[in-house]
Structure 1
Amino acid sequence: MYHFEGERTGFCQVGPKKWIFPSPYMPYAEKYYNVPLREDDVWIVTYPRSGTTLCQEIIWLINNNLDYKTSKSVNLTQRFPFYEFQILHHDEVHKEIEVLNNNDPEVNEQLRKWRIPGYITLEQLPSPRHIKTHFSFSLLPPKLIDTCKVIYVARNPKDVAVSYYHHNLLFKVHGYLNKGGFKKYWEFFQKDLLTFSPYWEHIREGWEKRNEKNVLFLFYEDLIKDMSSGIKKIAKFLEKTIGIDDVNQLVNHLQIDNFRKSVPITYSVNGMARESAQPFIRQGKVGENKEFTDDILESADKWIEENANKIGIKFPVK
C-alpha cells in the first residue's frame, strides 16, 4: 500500500484520469473550471517544478515592454499569480502559523489572502492578466485556448521529481516528512500519488495541443540550452518585437544568481518553510539529479522511455 503523508485534510482523486489534489479543491472545482476569461489573458500551464517561475518572469517582462523597474519592485506572485494556490493551504496549518507569529496582523492578513480562491483574485486584476497554473488542460476552462494565449512548459521527469522532492521538503504546508528519502518519493511520483499528478497525462494533454494557434509548447531543456532563442520564440508568440540588445539584457537578468537577487518571489511567512531545506529557487540546471542512485536509475530510465514513447514525445538531451 502506497501512502503519501501530508495534507492535513487528505487528498481527493478527480475524474476518470484520477488527478490528485488536496481535499480543499473539491468545493471550488466547478468555479475554477468556469472562471470568466479575457482575450488578453496570458496563461502558463505546467506540471510543478518544470521551470515555471523562470518562464513567468520571461513572459511578464516581454508582455510588459521589459519593465525591469516593476519587475524588481513588485513581487512576481502579484504580477503573475498562482491560480489555484488556495487549494494548497489549510486552515489548520494557518492557525499554527498564526500562533507561531503571535497573531501578527500582517502575517494573518497574508495567510488570509492565500486562502482566497484564484477565480476571485483574477476578477480584481487589471488587464492584461498573467496567470500561472498547474492544473491540466482538461481541468481548466474549456474555451481557454480559443480565447487566450497559453504557454505550456514540459521538463524531463527526473529533474521534475528531484525539484518537487526538495520543494515538498521546503514548505510545511505540504506536510511531507521524508520517510524513506528520495527513493520512496520516486515511488510516489511513479505511482501518480503527488499533487497535480498523473505526470504523464499532464504532459500528454499539453503535447496534444502543441499545434493549436494559441498554444506555445516549450521544453525547459531547450530554454536553458539556448535562452536567446527561447526568448525570441516567446516574444513572437506574444506578438511582441524584441531587439538583440534587449534579448541579451533579458538573458543576463535571468542568469540564476541575478534572478535570485533581483526578482522578488515570496511564498512564505515565518514558520512556513523549513530552514534546513533547499530554497524555492534552486539550481535551474538540466540533468543535475544526483538523487537517482544506481539501484533506481535503470528502472527509472526504462519507465520514462516507455511512457514517452506512448505519447510520442522526446525530451531534449543535455
Structure 2
Amino acid sequence: MALNKTEGLALDEGERLAVDFVEGILQPVPTCDTWEQIWNFQAQPDDLLITTYPKAGTTWMQEIVDFIQSEGDADRCRRAPTHSRFPFIEWKIPFLASVCWGSWYDHVKGWWDAKDRHRILYLFYEDMKENPKREIQKLAEFLGKSLDDEVLDKIIHHTSFEVMKQNPMANFSSVPAKIMNHSISPFMRKGGDWENHFTVAQNERFDQDYRERMADTTLTFRF
C-alpha cells in the first residue's frame, strides 16, 4: 500500500488537515495511519454497521438506531456525543471497490449489489423524509425490536432535524472549533436545496453524468 503525501484540506484559517492517498483514495492522515487496523477489522455476528456515504444522513441514522436500541429513552441517548457512541471506521470490504470518501456511485451500487448476498437493510433518504414512521418501523424490525406507536412517535420527534440541530449530543458542537468550525459551515445542514448551489449548466452536467454512471444498475433514486 503506497501513501502519496499531498496538500492538506483547509480546516480553519491558518490550519490544514493533513491528507494522503490510500489505494488511490484521498483520506485524512489519521485514517491512513490506522489503515492496517481498518483493513483487518472483523465484524462479529451481532455487530451493526451503518454504512453511509459522507453527508448522506449518517448522523440521522445513528440517532435513530440508538433510539431504537434504547426503546425511545432520550436520556440514555444523551449519554455521550454521537461520535463517541458510534465509532467511525473508514474502511474497504471485498465486494465494494471503494472506500468511504471515494466514488459515491461505487458506494451506492456496491452496497446495492451486496444486499442480495448479505443481511443488509438498504434505506433511502427520500423514503425516510416521506414516511419516517414506516421506515423506522422497518429498521426496528431489522434490529429485532418490536416498538409500539408511542415509542415510534417519540423517536420521530427526537430524531427530527429541528430537535437534533439543538441537541449538543448530536450536532457535533462539542467538537473543537479548530477541527470543525460551525461558524464557517454548520454540521447540521438541511439538504434538498441543490437549486441554491447548482447553476443550470452544472445541473445538466450532473444529470448526464448520473445517467451514464448509473446505467449498469437496477438501483434507482427518487429526486
The TM tier, using the shorter chain, reads 0.7 to 0.9
Q: Please, which moves more after superposition, 228-237 or 65-74?
A: 65-74
Aligned to 1:54: 60
Aligned to 1:204: 109
Aligned twin of 1:11: 20
Give the alignment's TM-score, normalised by structure 2: 0.81
CA distance in 1, matches of 2:41, 2:22: 21
Check the 8 A contact 2:68/2:145 in 1, yes or no: yes
Secondary structure, in 3 states, of the residue corresponding to 2:122?
Answer: strand
Counterpart position of 1:260: 165
- TM-fit CA distance, 1:278: 2.7
- Map 1:199-278 to 2 at 5 A: 199-262=104-167, 264-265=169-170, 266=172, 268-274=175-181, 276-278=183-185
Q: Which residue of the other structure, out of 211, 219, 222, is the alignment partner of 1:305?
A: 211
Q: Which residue in 2 is equivalent to 1:40?
A: 46
User: Residue 305 of structure 1 aligns to a residue in which SS?
Assistant: helix
Cα gap change, 1:203 to 1:293, in 2 (>3 Å): same
Corresponding position of 1:68: 74
Write out aligned runs for 1:96-175 (5 A): 135-138=91-94
Task: Tell me if the contact between 2:115 and 2:122 (Cα under 8 Å) persists in the aligned partners.
Answer: yes
Q: How far apart, in 1, do the equivalents of 2:195 and 2:88 lie? A: 26
Aligned to 1:91: none
C-alpha distance in structure 1 between counterparts of 2:109 and 2:7, whole Å: 24
* Cα displacement (A) at 1:40: 1.9
List gaps (5 residues or longer) in structure 2: 1-5, 10-15
Pairing partner for 1:29 from 35, 44, 62: 35
Q: Percent identity?
A: 23
Aligned AA (1:316) = R
> Would you say how many aligned residue pairs link Structure 1 and Structure 2?
209
Alignment of 1:85-96 (within 5 A): none
Question: C-alpha displacement at 1:218, in angstroms?
Answer: 0.9
- Checking the alignment, whether the CA contact within 8 Å between 2:80 and 2:169 is kept in structure 1 is yes
Cα distance, 1:310–1:195 mapped onto 2, change above 3 Å: same
Return the structure number with greater helix share: 1
Cα deviation for residue 74 of structure 1 reads 2.2
Cα deviations across residues 164-200 of structure 1 (Å, max 9, x unaligned)?
A: xxxxxxxxxxxxxxxxxxxxxxxxxxxx9x9711221
In the alignment, the residues of structure 2 paired with residue 281 and residue 79 of structure 1 have an alpha-carbon distance, to the nearest angstrom, of 18
Give the Cα–Cα distance (whole angstroms) in 1 for the partners of residues 78 and 155 of structure 2: 13
Deviation at 1:33, TM superposition (A): 1.7
Quick one: distance in 2 between partners of 1:299 and 1:244? 44
Gaps of 5+ in 1: 85-134, 141-191
Root mean square deviation of aligned Cα? 2.7
Question: Offset of 1:139 from its aligned partner?
Answer: 8.7
TM-score norm. by structure 1 comes to 0.59
Counterpart residue identity of residue 241, structure 1: S
